[in-house]
Structure 1
Amino acid sequence: MKTIDEMLHLALLTPDEHRQISHWIAQASSPDEILKMPPPLWRAVERASAVMGVDDDLMRPPALDDGGLVCG
């Protein structure tokens, strides 16, 4: 939900899209139910995600040195 809220804050979603998407996610009982979101709402999320670079973030390898992680 934080990402959806950020999308609203950045004006990448309309207040109505935000409300509908938030409601859909809240009532979904599983990830599979979220995937059944109506196509217009998915398109809105995809547009906002592209602007925010969400896919790029998900494809970036994790920074293993973050937070002082010591391996071994």
Structure 2
Amino acid sequence: MKTIDEMLNLALLTPEQHQHISAWIANADTPEDILKMPALLWQAVERASAVMGIDNDLLRPPALDAGDAVTG
């Protein structure tokens, strides 16, 4: 949900899209249920993800020196 909120804050999703996507995710019981989201909502998420470079982040190999990193 944090990513969806960030997409809204960056104006990559409209408030209406954010509301519908958030509701869909909240009502989904499984990841498979999320994948059944209507095509127009998926397209909005995909466009926003592309602008944010999320796919690039997921495809980047992990840093080998991150073992001692402190997060959070």
Normalising by structure 2, report the TM-score. 0.91
Amino acid at match of 2:10: L
For residues 49 and 34 of structure 1, the distance between their equivalents in structure 2, rounded to whole angstroms, comes to 16
Partner of 1:23: 23
- Please give the secondary structure, in 2, of the residue aligned with 1:26: helix
Aligned residues: 69
Q: 1:50 maps to what in 2?
A: 50
Percent identical among aligned pairs is: 71
Structure with max Cα Rg? 1
In structure 2, the gaps of 5 or more residues are none
Give the alignment's Cα RMSD to 1 decimal.
Answer: 1.1
> TM-score, normalised on structure 1?
0.91
Per-residue deviation, 1:67? 5.1
Distance 1:45 1:30 in 2: 18
Unaligned runs of 5+ in 1: none
